[in-house]
Structure 1
Amino acid sequence: MSQTLGPNMPETPPSSSIWALSHMKLRFFARVRRFLQTKTTQRNIKSRNKAMANKEEQVTAADKRISDDDDDSVVLQRSVKRLHFGGLEEKEMAAIEIERLAREDVKMRKLMAELGVIPALVGMVASEVAGRRRVAVKALIELANGTYTNKALMVEAGIFSKLPVKIDVLEEPTRHEFAELILSLSSLANHTQFPLASSEVLPFLIGILESGSSCETKESCLGTLYNLSAVLDNTGALLSNGVVQTLLRLISVKALSEKALATLGHLVVTLMGKKAMENSSLVPESLIEIMTWEDKPKCQELSAYILMILAHQSSVQREKMAKSGIVPVLLELALLGSPLAQKRALKLLQWFKDERQTRMGPHSGPQTARIAIGSPVNHREAQEGKKLMKDLVKQSLHKNMELITRRANATSGDSSMLKSLVMSTSSKSLPC
């Protein structure tokens, strides 16, 4: 007989149903927990992956930089090894790499010198193969750039003794590179004992200057001579190799005149240099001609300076200048030249006007001994010189005044200078 529940008694579920419901709830919460844990883990993984990726990029970049440095180091080691122990073609390739590395890094230049590449490259300069010789010179140019030590090492290695004897066998680019290298090395002339007299450098430079080389190449050679002429001890070697005559021939070339005149300005202050110019057939005509170059004021100044040195205490040179027509040129220069050129021209005019004055200090004009009254020889020479000066000035003044006036009118503010110049150079102020 089954038991019947009363209407006021609740129905109680069986124990098996309660257990099943609890189990389902536990499983649900477990899944939620696992889901949340999974999301958190994924976010952490993504963050770690991103950080690791950034770190890997940084490491890769650093490795690349190190790799690049290692590449230059490897190239340098390989090039030095080939240069010392390789065959002829390997030496040539090594010189090309050394030039590139030296051009890019100053520290690399110093390191290369310590590794002994300079004597090896100097030895290659004497090669009979034009291409091999040229790459060696180009590498030496880069190694000499801005490094006193490297330049000194090249001179000690005998670079000047390796210069080609025959200029005509060299192509123009090779001549230019040799001239550029020597110009760089000539900066040592003020610091070390430059082996000038015992080397082939001067014959090589003069050979290029007297050849059909480009103006750029010749300008480099003139720069070298300028540096060398600044040292008085080099004057003898320069003169014995005919530098003065070569320079005097080049001063008529406007593109080269300024540097050539500046070098002559160094040499003319020495007794030997002045003597060499006085004995040249090109002096003073070529220098007087340069003083008419209105478009080259620096050349005018340098030419007037050289003529001042030559005319100082030398009546023979002043007479040669007067016969060559220097007075009208000086008149024009004193009116239209640069301030420095005007000053020098007026000083020269003063010397030509007044040969009798002896009250002149050092470097201020001609200084001659006082003549004894009644000396027939000196008196006759003085009178002839005065008459010559007077005639020359009269002839040249009237001949050139119209030209000078026309040019002066084109320049504002010069009328007063013209009047004073005319008055100062008139016949009334000339010696009687």
Structure 2
Amino acid sequence: MTRLTLTAAILRRKLLQALTCGGCSLSLSLSLSLSRQRKPHVATLKPVSKSDRLGQLILEEPSELGSDEMEVELAPTENQKSEQELEEFQRVVSMLHPHGNADAAGDCRREAAVEIRRMAKEDADARETLAMLGAIPPLIGMLDAELDLDSQITALYALLNLAIGNDMNKAAIVKAGAVHKMLRLIRPESPPEVHNPLSEAIVANFLSLSALDANKQIIGLSGAVPFLIKSLRQNKNCRQDALRALFNLSIVATNSQHLIESGIIDTLLTAIGDMEVTDHALATLSNLVASSAEARQRLTRANDSIPILIDVLGWTDASSCQEKSAYVLMVMAHKSHADRAAMSEAGISGALLELTLIGTPLAQKRASRILQMMRSKKGKEISESSFAVSAPMTVEGKGKAKVEEVAGEMSDEKMAVKQLVQQSLHCNMRRIARRANLPEEIMPVEHLNKVLAVSSTSKSLPF
């Protein structure tokens, strides 16, 4: 009975000792086994003796951890991970098409929208995969008015995350009819200055979708402009998103008419002064005045529009706003003599002179261009008036004396005006030098003349 209880290892050792003589065969079998472990096995026709074969089989004891191949199979591969993620995406998308009673189906769809929002938040591959699996149409279907508010908001933010950085998804969302469904969700009776999560989610989606050029005109024609302007005026939580969406729409010239008719000019002028939105407000205004004559006319007729824009030229701590305001004034001065006269009456010269000295290079260029346009027009008027005075100088007798007397009076008036202009220039230069922290002696009037004398004669506007 004791022999039957021997372990397999002891039995192998007994057999090895019985078959080997003096340990030579054992060493030979050991060397053969080690060489086979180092080299790949190649089938040969050489016969193997029974003793060597038995010794090899005895020495090949299995390891406790198993072979390397077993360890690779146990660890999940990249393909397996991809398959698991794909199965998870398919499961979530299938939850958007639930079966059963209405309450259970609504909860299931809402849970799926939450999962899609989480998956697509920071994973570009997940956005693409979920869209390819068909997640967009059922999410847009959740925007129907009969569903509860939480489901609608959750679906909106899921769509928003799917559209992040993915132009194909942006186009697919608009093509599936999301714009009109979002507009049907708007509740006009909502009071102003009240936190409205649904409106804020809609504005965020309009901002994301309007970033794609192919969607700009579709959104502009859809009737979304009045809603965005109202959100800019009334909802402080999403006014920046609304303004940026309006800026995206203003890039397309065909949207200018809808923006102007909705009262965007007055809204943008009202927003100027709030440093959170002034830069985008001026950028939107720049697009409008550059592409639409009606926008320039509306801006001219608006109350205090020119003084507001001139005041921005003095914002030394907001150089970007200075550049954009100078661009708007430059376009208006280039297009209309009446606007140049209004700018002159509002005292734009001092602000422009200061900007040419201490502004950014782009602001200096635009300010110099405005000064050039105003100076060239003034010089034209002076030459015409001088021709009218000197033309009758050939009259003889009393008429000649009378004309000379008028000419003398005009010369005295011109000299007085010239002195006043020189005094004003000196005062302005001293004030500008003080604001620039520069000594007055290094800012003579001759330098001002060099600044005003713009060498370029091109009529093209510096953009």
Give the fraction of aligned pairs with identical amino acids, expressed as a percent: 32
- The 1:325/1:98 distance shift into structure 2, 3 A limit, reads same
Q: Which sections of structure 2, spanning at least 5 residues, go unmatched? A: 1-13, 21-25, 27-50, 100-104, 390-409, 453-463
Q: Which moved more, 1:298-307 or 1:99-108?
A: 99-108
Aligned to 1:361: none
Matched, 1:116 2:134: yes
Q: For the Cα contact (< 8 Å) 1:322–1:392, is it kept in 2? A: no
**What is the distance in 1 between the residues matched to 2:273 and 2:211?**
27
**Deviations along 1:15-48, whole A, 9 cap, x unmatched?**
xxxxxxxxxxxxxx9783279799965641235x
Q: Which moved more, 1:225-234 or 1:120-129?
A: 120-129
Deviation at 1:281, TM superposition (A): 0.9
**What is the distance in 2 between the residues matched to 1:178 and 1:388?**
63
**What is the distance in 2 between the residues matched to 1:211 and 1:45?**
81
- The 1:201/1:192 distance shift into structure 2, 3 A limit, reads closer
- The 1:423/1:236 distance shift into structure 2, 3 A limit, reads closer
Aligned to 2:41: none
Matched, 1:199 2:222: yes
1:303-342 alignment to 2 at 5 Å? Answer: 303-342=325-364
Aligned to 2:62: 46
- The 1:410/1:107 distance shift into structure 2, 3 A limit, reads same
User: What SS does structure 1 have at the residue aligned with 2:315?
Assistant: coil
**What is the distance in 1 between the residues matched to 2:416 and 2:257?**
37
TM-score by length of 2: 0.69
**Deviations along 1:42-100, whole A, 9 cap, x unmatched?**
641235x5553x3222111136x566444433332232222123511111101112223
Matched, 1:259 2:280: yes
Give the number of aligned pairs.
Answer: 373
**What is the distance in 2 between the residues matched to 1:278 and 1:348?**
17
Q: Which moved more, 1:72-81 or 1:232-241?
A: 72-81
Aligned to 1:241: 262
Aligned counterpart for 1:179 among listed residues 188, 203, 214? 203
User: What SS does structure 1 have at the residue aligned with 2:165?
Assistant: coil
Aligned to 1:146: 165
Matched, 1:420 2:438: no
Q: Which sections of structure 1, spanning at least 5 residues, go unmatched? A: 1-28, 359-366, 376-382, 426-432
Aligned to 1:99: 117
Deviation at 1:373, TM superposition (A): 6.7
Q: For the Cα contact (< 8 Å) 2:179–2:222, is it kept in 1? A: yes
- The 1:202/1:327 distance shift into structure 2, 3 A limit, reads same
What letter is aligned with 2:231? I
**What is the distance in 2 between the residues matched to 1:187 and 1:249?**
25
Matched, 1:343 2:365: yes
What letter is aligned with 2:260? L
Matched, 1:408 2:431: no
Aligned to 1:133: 152
The structure having more radius of gyration, on CA atoms, is: 1
Aligned to 2:7: none
**What is the distance in 2 between the residues matched to 1:389 and 1:254?**
40
User: What SS does structure 2 have at the residue aligned with 1:84?
Assistant: coil
**Deviations along 1:381-407, whole A, 9 cap, x unmatched?**
xx9xx9999798567535533321212
**What is the distance in 1 between the residues matched to 2:81 and 2:225?**
44
TM-score by length of 1: 0.74
Aligned to 1:56: 70
In angstroms, what is the RMSD of aligned CA positions?
3.8
Q: Which moved more, 1:261-270 or 1:251-260?
A: 251-260
**What is the distance in 2 between the residues matched to 1:393 and 1:221?**
46
